[in-house]
Amino acid sequence: MKTKLTPRFLTALTIFSLMGQIAWVVENMYLNVFLYKMFNATAADISMMVGASSVAATLTTILVGAFSDKVGKRKLLMCLGYIIWGISILGFALIRIDLVSEVFTFMVVSHTNAIASLCITLTIALDCIMTFFGSSANDAAFNAWLTDSTDETNRGSIEGINAMMPLVAILAVFGGFMGLNQDLQESWTVIFLVIGGVVTALGVAGFFLVEETGVKSEENSHYFA
């Protein structure tokens, strides 16, 4: 039986869609600035990060989407995915010259730019990890949950709400953080802690808010043993 447009469903739709898009705005529009401002990253470094995360997002969406079709655990994948997604965003707050140099003090002796290069590498790696869990939770599980929870009579209006969230997210992110000085490490710490903390909290709340659809597709059973 399809989930109707109840207040509970609309609340879950709005906050999961909005926060997912806000997290993607930070990833797509802020991480490159973070690399450049904090570690003097080159255009090649930024291109490598964008390319690596794009590949991770594409493969994750296809594979995890098929997996969620087989097991039908949309709610679990969504909520756990958002929790780990948020934790991975929090991890960016730890990638800073002073903290990394304390852990890898031997690299300062060998090369003055070694710590900055290491921070760039760590950011790219963590971006791919974050993208994996973000794509699993949002692109694969959440969008599949929306499809499972609607029918031909209400899917158009629901997709309309979901489609406008990227624009709302851009306004929220730029409006909320426009007063921060992006040349300061403290500003980036605030951005990552706020976004990561809210996304993690949303994943926890989802266990109480989201209703499992119970839909399972036998057509995709051949993708996994």
Cβ contact 80:142 at 8 Å: no
pTM for this entry: 0.89
Residue-wise pLDDT tens digits, 168-184:
999 999 898 989 999 99
Flag whether pLDDT at 109 surpasses 50.
Answer: no
Whether the Cβ atoms of residue 76 and residue 70 lie closer than 8 Å to each other: no
pLDDT-derived band at 112, boundaries 50, 70, 90: low
Tens digit of each residue's pLDDT (9 = 90 or more) over 198-212: 999 999 999 999 987
Check pLDDT > 60 for residue 37. yes
What integer is the mean pLDDT of 100-117?
70
Question: What's the average model confidence in pLDDT over 60-69?
Answer: 88
* 222 pLDDT higher than 90: no
